Structure 1
Amino acid sequence: MSKFDSRPDKMKEYSAIKFVTLSLPCFNVYRELFYNSEDKKVLPDNLEELLTARGLAYWIMDDGYKFRKALYISTESFSLDENQFLVKILKNKLDLDCSVHPTTNGVRIYIFSSSREKLINFIHPYLLPHFYYKLDLNPSL
């Protein structure tokens, strides 16, 4: 689909792709785990038990971004207490050195460069090569 913007300061053609997704009942179990009755995102109490290497890899491919040799995970939609809960899980389950860092719109998780190799070893089997840049990985790995 394309559209021409004829405003005098634009005069440019833009292209767009539109798509529709389906909602399947088989995914309701996950919705119920991570959203409350008011449709607010929440963290299940048993998240440490639920978190897997694959799940963490997907989370980082979606919300992770590198900062020098460290990694941030965009968790600004969660409260400080929820972020501290997430950090505790990452420390307990994976022995990662991480903390909560303030941002202009909340806080987010920071995984220190000292834990980079440990994190990579845990999630590498599930990372799509397209996302290797998030951890400065060589695409030939």
Structure 2
Amino acid sequence: MAANISPIFPLTPKVWISALITAANTNKDGTGTVVQISSPAGPNGAFVESVEAIPIGTNNASVLRVFLNNGSSTSSAANNILWEEVSLPATVLTEVAAQAKVVIPLNRAIPAGYTLYATMGTAVAAGWRARAHSGDY
């Protein structure tokens, strides 16, 4: 069986910053209110290094769920898989201390056309943004 014997590296780096995420979605199948957090993988696939959750202000604790979608509609659960989830701490807006981001290390390759989406477990006041670091092959 033939296999790659040489390492490959992303050709085109990409950083995607999501729309503000504030609404609750308790679905665990990637349907409902979802926010796109990455651009679709290029024709040769992509490597996803990490997703960072960045608080925008005062929020209650919640959970961020990251879904991998096969490039089709997110309204069908068959097109999505729960890829990762991470607890988000309660945050308080302040001008004297930094708000800590939450990093989800992924370091995984995804097929062409696949896209990442995210949901929040509970509604939050100020919201969070997700930033995906990836690169197309």
Range of TM-score over shorter length: 0.3 to 0.5
Q: Which has the higher helix share?
A: 1
TM-score scaled by structure 1?
0.32
From the CA coordinates, give the structure whose radius of gyration is larger: 1
Q: Which has the higher strand share?
A: 2
TM-score scaled by structure 2?
0.33
